[in-house]
A = this chain, B = another copy of it.
Amino acid sequence: MPEKEVVNYEEGRPVFVMNETRTFPIRLSKIRIDDRFFNRYTKLVTKEIIPYQWKVLNDLEPEAEKSRCIANYRIAAGEEEGEFYGFVFQDSDLAKWLEAVAYSLSYEDNPELKKTADEAIALVERAQQKDGYLNTYFTVKEPGKQFTNLREGHELYCAGHMMEAAVAYYEVTGEDKLLKIMEKMADLIVKTFHEDKYKTAAPGHQEIEIGLVKMYRVTKKKEYLDMAKAFIDRRGTEPNYLVHEHEDPGWTDVFHNPDPFFPDYSQCDEPVRQQKTARGHAVREVYMLCAMADLAFYYRDEELFDACETLYDDIVNRQMYLTGGIGSSGLYERFTVDYDLPNDRNYSETCASIGLALFCRRMAEITGDTKYIETMETALYNTVLSGIGLDGKSFFYVNPMEVEPSHCLPHSSLQHVKSVRQKWFGCACCPPNIARTLASLGEYVCFTKENEVYLNLFLGCSFSVEFEGKKVDFTVETDMPYRGRTRIHVNNPENANGTLFLRIPSYAKKAELTDGENVVTLNPQKGYQKIEIKEKEHDLSLQFKMPAEYIYADPNVSANVGRVAVKKGPLVYCMEEADNGTGLSRFFVDTRISIVEDYDEDLFGGTMVITLAGEKLMPYEEEGSLYRTEMPRRKNAEARLIPYCLWGNRRTGEMLVWIRTNF
């Protein structure tokens, strides 16, 4: 097993490197979340989100865009007549839905839902070809053309998602039907992509690598891990398969895009180990990084790990929005260049922030460093949650930093930005991706390792782990994310010895930890405070100050020069028209005046709101010239802010994160 192989790092290497062993997320069956802040989302998963999405996949939701996802499978299975409908990656919507279902079954018994999922899995099996091939687009629409367009074909992408679903379903239910289906597909992929023709081939949209790593984890078939590594290693090397693929006479044009393929879009313009900046399609980049992190660990591949760190640094320090959004170009949903972070036309796809959270989680598992948890938390609490409405049935794909609804005009530069969450999308990657993320929230909260448990996120929850083979129960109560008060009760009836690693976030001020009556001297390592568990009962209490603060962007971010944002703990705040009227851009905050925080019991089921003081530029009293030599008048004004993740849940209106200041 390569998992525990020890590597000595040379001097001069980064301080935070891979641990010799890694943690893994807690099994979802071992954790229950019951949190005042998150319940509004997690309770929706089985009540609204999963049933709603099932209806959509079956075209039973009249207000949503047509999906035809299930119909495509039926047609592929020969059980229904018709044409393939939708995007070439339509299959993956079912995969993500099944993954979400699996996670939800781990903490909520639901025989009816399981029956539906089992039927869907049986349908997937019937849609699979004899040789193991599984993809309804190529089966129905382009038979014989499988694997002829790796750039656009998304077969490997869809397979990767279905593998993730298969592993989740197996781990939760113990049933291996979907796993076996995907083993057949994985075997076909391994066989095919070692053929001469495909010896240098890599997928256009990374995701299969994640799936194969997970399949390896469950099946222990090393060839899956090797295949994933080969896909990563082939990427951007000569002969560059993705660049030359279309020269093959058998090539199929899927997208009919008149704009020629540009390799950096798919991160294949140079070998991944040489890539110093995040580039191209943001989801592809972070899905690739997830696999790279895992593979770096399994193969003890320092160079690959270095690439992960380099790209992480570039994203977080030069290409990420305050909310954890990534992909600043609306066109091609992509990274652009360092410090290019426009506020109104960015893409910041919900899926990209999900991918960023998944990557950060892996990096934290490998390194035991909470800096990755902090980025993961930012992405989850802001951009990912912003992606879903409080009804569980409406979604943002694009997550701007500011919106003026009238500017989001169809057939214009801002046509990709929506000021209202949509019911569903023709390209529906985000909604089921949010579903699987919320359904697996526990995996982000806790990691475990032999006789160790890592508490990452401050959520009301209870979980149990084993120390020295003995069950230890933890109960967490918290006032987060609004106040820094957390109590952890440990029930350790057999006096097992183990260690709790408790994250002390960087935003925690004056943190105080007590274990019973004893004040614990804080000395966090990589952001985790080590607490030895050995008594029958521990009553831990962590308190810190977490005042809302003004945040400045690096002055190289031209879009934010002369502006500030407000962040309280993990939550970014924003102004909305519903609270402030129109003209949010005309408000100038006086940063010399203290930020006022108030808990509003009634708003969105209870949320902390923030009030700022400053001045507001007044519209001209007389209509007329657009440009004048007189300075517009100002008057004293206040601004009310709500958490960014909650915007767009009232009437349509303006929204603004980065607020002007001239003080």
Chain A residues within CB distance 8 Å of chain B: 256, 258-259, 262, 265, 316-318, 320, 322, 329-332, 334, 336-337, 340, 342, 344-345, 404, 406-407, 409-415, 549-558, 561-562, 565, 567, 583, 585-586, 588, 591, 617-620, 623-632, 660-663
Chain B residues, CB < 8 A from A550: 629, 631
Contact of A555 among B322, B552, B625, B632 (CB under 8 A): B632
A320 touches B626 (CB 8 A): yes
Which residue of chain B is the closest to A660 with respect to CB atoms?
B562
B660 touches A561 (CB 8 A): yes
Known contacts A555-B619, A561-B585; 13 additional CB pairs below 8 A are: A256-B258, A262-B411, A329-B412, A329-B414, A331-B411, A340-B407, A345-B345, A345-B413, A551-B628, A553-B626, A555-B618, A558-B586, A662-B662
Chain B residues, CB < 8 A from A265: 411
Chain B residues, CB < 8 A from A630: 552
B409 touches A329 (CB 8 A): yes
Closest CB in chain B relative to A119 CB, distance in Å: 36
The answer to whether residues A551 and B660 also contact, given A259-B411, A404-B340, A558-B404 and a CB cut-off of 8 A, is: no
Contact of A583 among B258, B259, B555, B627 (CB under 8 A): B555
A551 touches B629 (CB 8 A): yes
Which residue of chain B is the closest to A317 with respect to CB atoms?
B626
Chain B residues, CB < 8 A from A336: 407, 409, 412-414
The answer to whether residues A412 and B549 also contact, given A340-B407, A660-B562, A662-B562 and a CB cut-off of 8 A, is: no
Contact of A561 among B256, B342, B586, B663 (CB under 8 A): B586
B411 touches A332 (CB 8 A): yes
A334 touches B262 (CB 8 A): no
B411 touches A627 (CB 8 A): no
Closest CB in chain B relative to A505 CB, distance in Å: 14
Which residue of chain B is the closest to A415 with respect to CB atoms?
B331
Which residue of chain B is the closest to A624 with respect to CB atoms?
B317
The answer to whether residues A340 and B406 also contact, given A413-B330, A413-B331 and a CB cut-off of 8 A, is: yes
Chain B residues, CB < 8 A from A413: 329-331, 336, 342, 345, 413
The answer to whether residues A557 and B588 also contact, given A329-B412, A331-B415, A412-B331 and a CB cut-off of 8 A, is: no
Some 9 contacts from A to B, beta carbons below 8 A apart, are A317-B625, A331-B412, A340-B409, A552-B632, A554-B627, A555-B617, A557-B626, A561-B617, A662-B662
Which residue of chain B is the closest to A630 with respect to CB atoms?
B552
Docked CA distance A618–B556 (Å): 9
Chain B residues, CB < 8 A from A557: 626
Which residue of chain B is the closest to A378 with respect to CB atoms?
B627
Docked CA distance A592–B411 (Å): 42
Chain B residues, CB < 8 A from A406: 337, 340
Chain B residues, CB < 8 A from A556: 583, 619
Most chain B CB neighbours (cut-off 10 Å) among A265, A334, A618? A334
- How many copies, total? 2
A552 touches B619 (CB 8 A): no
Closest CB in chain B relative to A416 CB, distance in Å: 9
Docked CA distance A410–B336 (Å): 9
Docked CA distance A662–B631 (Å): 12
B553 touches A627 (CB 8 A): yes
Closest CB in chain B relative to A627 CB, distance in Å: 5
Which residue of chain B is the closest to A332 with respect to CB atoms?
B411
Closest CB in chain B relative to A223 CB, distance in Å: 36
Most chain B CB neighbours (cut-off 10 Å) among A265, A318, A331, A630? A331
Chain B residues, CB < 8 A from A320: 626
Closest CB in chain B relative to A659 CB, distance in Å: 11
Which residue of chain B is the closest to A402 with respect to CB atoms?
B558
Docked CA distance A565–B329 (Å): 27
The answer to whether residues A554 and B620 also contact, given A336-B407, A406-B340 and a CB cut-off of 8 A, is: yes
B583 touches A334 (CB 8 A): no
Which residue of chain B is the closest to A406 with respect to CB atoms?
B337
A552 touches B411 (CB 8 A): no
Docked CA distance A259–B410 (Å): 11
A551 touches B344 (CB 8 A): no
B629 touches A552 (CB 8 A): yes
Which residue of chain B is the closest to A265 with respect to CB atoms?
B411
B412 touches A620 (CB 8 A): no
Chain B residues, CB < 8 A from A558: 404, 583, 585-586
Most chain B CB neighbours (cut-off 10 Å) among A262, A334, A409, A632? A409
Docked CA distance A318–B627 (Å): 10
The answer to whether residues A334 and B627 also contact, given A555-B618, A617-B555 and a CB cut-off of 8 A, is: no
A262 touches B410 (CB 8 A): yes
The answer to whether residues A555 and B586 also contact, given A617-B561, A626-B317 and a CB cut-off of 8 A, is: yes
Docked CA distance A557–B410 (Å): 20
B331 touches A627 (CB 8 A): no
Which residue of chain B is the closest to A585 with respect to CB atoms?
B558
Which residue of chain B is the closest to A631 with respect to CB atoms?
B552
Chain B residues, CB < 8 A from A617: 555, 561
Docked CA distance A551–B317 (Å): 36
Chain B residues, CB < 8 A from A625: 316-317, 554
Which residue of chain B is the closest to A507 with respect to CB atoms?
B629
Chain B residues, CB < 8 A from A620: 554-555
Docked CA distance A265–B554 (Å): 39
Closest CB in chain B relative to A568 CB, distance in Å: 12
Chain B residues, CB < 8 A from A414: 329, 336
B316 touches A626 (CB 8 A): yes
Contact of A322 among B330, B553, B585, B627 (CB under 8 A): B627
Closest CB in chain B relative to A200 CB, distance in Å: 24
Which residue of chain B is the closest to A591 with respect to CB atoms?
B631
Most chain B CB neighbours (cut-off 10 Å) among A259, A265, A588, A660? A660
Most chain B CB neighbours (cut-off 10 Å) among A322, A337, A557? A337
Task: Give the 8 A-B residue pairs with the shortest CB-CB distance, closest first.
Answer: A558-B585, A662-B662, A329-B412, A555-B617, A329-B413, A340-B407, A555-B632, A337-B406
Chain B residues, CB < 8 A from A628: 551-552, 554
Docked CA distance A629–B554 (Å): 10
Which residue of chain B is the closest to A584 with respect to CB atoms?
B558
